[in-house]
Structure 1
Amino acid sequence: MGDQDSIGIRTNIPVIDMQKFPDSGEYEKLKEACEEWGCFRIVNHKIPLTLMSEMKTVVRSLLDLPMEIKNRNTDVIAGSGYMAPTAVNPLYEGLGLYDLGSPLAVRNFCAQLDASPHQNEIIGTYAKAVNDLAIDIGRKLTESVGLFLDLFKDWPCQFRINKYNFTPESVGSSGVQIHTDSGFLTILQDDENVGGLEVMDKYSGQFVPVDPWPGTLLVNLGDLATVWSNGRFCNVKHRVQCKEASIRVSIASFLLGPKGGAIEAPQEFVDSEHPRLYVPVTYEDYRKTRLSTKLQAGEALERIRTPCNS
């Protein structure tokens, strides 16, 4: 699935049309995208383009705030608050909001950053829209493999607003290291003008550029989607490369995992030919494993292998 060049290397990620559901063909495309790529672009989603544009304007203004204000954006869980540039990712900084579905959490985030009433309204409206979309995509994903489960209703969703301070000296370098996402799935509103996102083709090991396509959203599957699917779904490796000397801004929303509960493969994915690959794990414990081991590109999954598969 996806276009190929003349020597057979896949060059474009799949595109899923949200308006075509419940067409069985679109479910099949979604399942194949999850298995073969671990990512896909969605078109004809329900988030208004005006809201996406307004949110991007708000995000840029928040990321331009003085450092002393951005530092008020403290962690709720590990890594959920403000991240300043580091030695590993010197060109990157980001603000975070844990639990998009909680109006209280949204208000607290806005209060930390002295957001105006208009900014409060935009952030709150966007948070609800993306949280609802993440749950809808998760539901369609389970339906694509023949399971009709209301899994995601109470799962927390976190967003991170990202800024890459690309300069002429940084062209050709990495904006953020190769990694997988630790949660179940991620919805990304990418920079509509500045490219740099690349995903790894799991077959060739080569990186495929994901160029800007205004008005669309990107979905990546993370490590816990691999756990839940018993290895069937791909946790896509990705990175951001500096292609031009320009500020690059994106908004990533992460559907994490059941709050305080463990995630594991349903019995439908486990049989004598497909033994259970991973022990049940909570998002919080798995995230701690990733942080303590500094294994950021899916390797931490080896730490939760079942004894017979380790």
Structure 2
Amino acid sequence: MSITESYPPAFRRVINDGAPSATAEIEPVLVQDKDIDVPVIDFECLDKEILTEACRDWGIFRLKNHGVPLPLMSQLQEISESLLSLPFENKQKLFAAVNSPMSYFWGTPALNRSGDALKRGAQASNVSMVEGFNVPLSKLPASTSCDDDAQRSELESFRVLIEEYGRHITRIAVSLFEAIAQTLNLELSSHQKSGYLLESTGLIRVYRYPPSDKTAGEALGMEVHTDSSVISILKEDETGGLEIMKDEEWFRVKPVADTLIVNLGDMMQAISDNEYKSVEHRVKKKDMTTKRHSVCYFVFPQRDCVIKSSNYKPFTYSDFEAQVQADVQSLGTKIGLLRFTPESPLFL
């Protein structure tokens, strides 16, 4: 099988000859060719001053000594890449199994929590060069089934590995949230903590960005966005491609082996009353001839948890989620927290 056959049909022309398809999203190319070192947090001995600065001035930091076993991370990447290398049609069938909440997506990072692609408005470009798997951790079955014995074995290995990885990464997210809350002097009860960051909402998305000829430009990948989460935790390979907005400029975040990238989402910005920022970011590979693989964990508030802030109208996460979906479907893009400022009328 040609490796090209593992990608969705809409990707194949770009991979083969570098010519963007008619629906591929093209953003302005990166003007500044700059790498940047984001703050580093040692998870074994959290420095609250460094953490405060990272959350306030950056909205993103690198986590070292995180305690996730390196063999587990390596095995998860290996099995994920193997599954993603299956023929496109096989992936669609494999993850359409009735007994599995895991799903396969491609062409857009705009998904609902179930992993279904959101229908986007006519103003949006419809294809981004990304595909992957959506895995809601709390809904993982005890085992997986598949007609093909070899694929069943591989899918079961993936389930076991991602379940174990999820336990580690959830532990990290809960500890980081508690530390961040302390830097904000938020005195939260156990009920409030679980309201703001509910472990059962945690989901993992495995992403693959295909290679393409450099003539396709550096614009293909994941569009500019902020995460709707409280906290997002990224494990990426050595290819790189993550870029962040800092002081009105775009910078490439250099990959560092055996570390994790943590970024704050919209909910953390609202909870902090805008003291901390939800970082704008995108993915644009510098090396277009190499595929990129990453695994990202997202965790959210309880759906009926009310977020109160002097900068926003009171809203529940359910309100926010519904508004984002409405904006994506009608306008083709997410508006996010700006919809909930006192002067902004809601779209819904």
TM-score range, shorter chain: 0.7 to 0.9
Of all paired residues, the percent bearing the same amino acid is: 28
Q: Which consecutive unaligned segments of at least 5 residues does structure 1 have? A: 1-8, 271-275
Preserved contact between residue 40 and residue 62 of structure 2 (Cα < 8 Å): yes
Which among 51, 59, 78 is matched to residue 30 of structure 1?
51
Preserved contact between residue 83 and residue 95 of structure 1 (Cα < 8 Å): no
Question: What residue is the counterpart of 1:304 in the other structure?
Answer: 340
Which among 112, 129, 138 is matched to residue 91 of structure 1?
129
Query: Shift of the alpha carbon at 1:43?
Result: 0.5
Residue 45 and residue 296 in structure 1: after superposition, are their counterparts in 2 closer, same or farther (change >3 A)? farther
Report matched runs for 1:15-164 at 5 Å: 15-21=40-46, 26-71=47-92, 72=96, 73-74=102-103, 78-81=112-115, 87-98=125-136, 100=137, 102=138, 105-107=139-141, 110-111=144-145, 114=152, 115-149=154-188, 150=190, 151-152=193-194, 154-155=198-199, 156-164=201-209
Question: What residue is the counterpart of 2:239 in the other structure?
Answer: 194
Residue 296 and residue 158 in structure 1: after superposition, are their counterparts in 2 closer, same or farther (change >3 A)? farther
Aligned length: 279
More moved, 145-154 vs 40-49: 145-154
Task: With the length of structure 1 as denominator, give the TM-score of the two structures.
Answer: 0.80
Query: Shift of the alpha carbon at 1:28?
Result: 1.4
Query: Shift of the alpha carbon at 1:129?
Result: 1.1
Query: Shift of the alpha carbon at 1:184?
Result: 0.8
Distance 2:344 2:242 in 1: 37
Preserved contact between residue 268 and residue 276 of structure 2 (Cα < 8 Å): yes
Query: Shift of the alpha carbon at 1:284?
Result: 3.1
Distance 2:180 2:276 in 1: 10
Q: 1:46 aligns to what SS in structure 2? A: coil
Distance 1:93 1:237 in 2: 21
More moved, 204-213 vs 10-19: 10-19
Distance 1:142 1:109 in 2: 37
Q: 2:140 aligns to what SS in structure 1? A: helix
Query: Shift of the alpha carbon at 1:207?
Result: 1.1
RMSD (CA atoms): 2.9
Preserved contact between residue 197 and residue 241 of structure 1 (Cα < 8 Å): yes
Question: What residue is the counterpart of 1:182 in the other structure?
Answer: 228
Query: Shift of the alpha carbon at 1:216?
Result: 0.2
Query: Shift of the alpha carbon at 1:248?
Result: 0.4
Distance 2:223 2:161 in 1: 30
Amino acid in the other structure paired with 1:232: E
Preserved contact between residue 244 and residue 282 of structure 2 (Cα < 8 Å): yes
Query: Shift of the alpha carbon at 1:257?
Result: 1.4
Query: Shift of the alpha carbon at 1:280?
Result: 2.8
Structure number with greater CO (CA < 8 Å, separation at least 6) is: 2
Preserved contact between residue 263 and residue 281 of structure 1 (Cα < 8 Å): yes
Distance 1:81 1:27 in 2: 35
Task: With the length of structure 2 as denominator, give the TM-score of the two structures.
Answer: 0.72
